[in-house]
Amino acid sequence: MNKVVAGPDVAIADIMDGATLMLGGFGLCGIPENCIAALVRKQVRELTCISNNAGVDDFGIGLMLAQRQVKKMISSYVGENAEFERQLLSGELQVELIPQGTLATRCLAAGYGMPAIYTPAGVGTEVGIGKEVRNFEGKDYLMEMAFDADFAIVKAWKGDTMGNLIYRATARNFNPLMAMAGKITIAEVEELVPAGELDPDAIHTPGIYVHRIFQGTGYEKRIEQRTVRSV
């Protein structure tokens, strides 16, 4: 099956107001830049976004926050975005902060078809308020539900027309987990090749998980925090 679509606007065309989205990336590394730009152009609103972080003020998910397109953020780290902070403190934005390992494992559980996981992270803290606690061999664990996302939007280095994906270096972060977890998975890639050209042993996400794929353009690949030493 050829899963190739013409571009980001076609790929996200059926994402409507109120959808729940997973967006791959860590900081600004491996984020689906083209799809985010298309979502901004479409002006879809009331979104729930599941992402490790919320981008920065003028890039990544920060672009959607600036347009008031996001109703709720489910994230681990949000410290680089002043607009996010403003919306949170003013009550304009709902926020669920999750330990990073829990965020990753809830994605994994969704991909594996598991309804929930048990984790010690957050026991006895605000994270655990209102959640079921079970004791296993003398240790308490929180029950955390698998995510239920309408779409997973990921970015890979290479992909083929069957949807097989290869990530590169740090960009192999939340992308493989989220690619498994969405009801519909959209992948943008830097290089799109015919089926059969990728080394099967190098594939990180099998095409069975991917519904739409396109070759992106104009990647900025910004660095969130650049630290250099003086000569």
pTM: 0.92
Return the pLDDT at 27: 84
Is 230 within the bounds of a domain?
no
Residue 2 domain flag: no
> What CATH number should be reported for the domain holding residue 72?
3.40.1080.10
Given this model, what pLDDT does residue 79 score?
Answer: 75
The rounded distance, in Å, linking the Cα atoms of 179 and 194 is 20
Q: Which residue has the higher pLDDT, 77 or 106?
A: 106
| Residue 135 counted as domain residue | yes
What digits encode the pLDDT tens for the residues 118-140? 999 999 999 999 999 999 999 99
- What tens digit of pLDDT does each residue of 14-48 get? 999 999 999 999 988 999 999 999 999 999 999 99
Does any domain span residue 221?
A: no
How does the average pLDDT of the chain come out, rounded? 94
Tell me the per-residue pLDDT of 195-207, one tens digit each, with 9 for 90 and over: 999 999 999 999 9
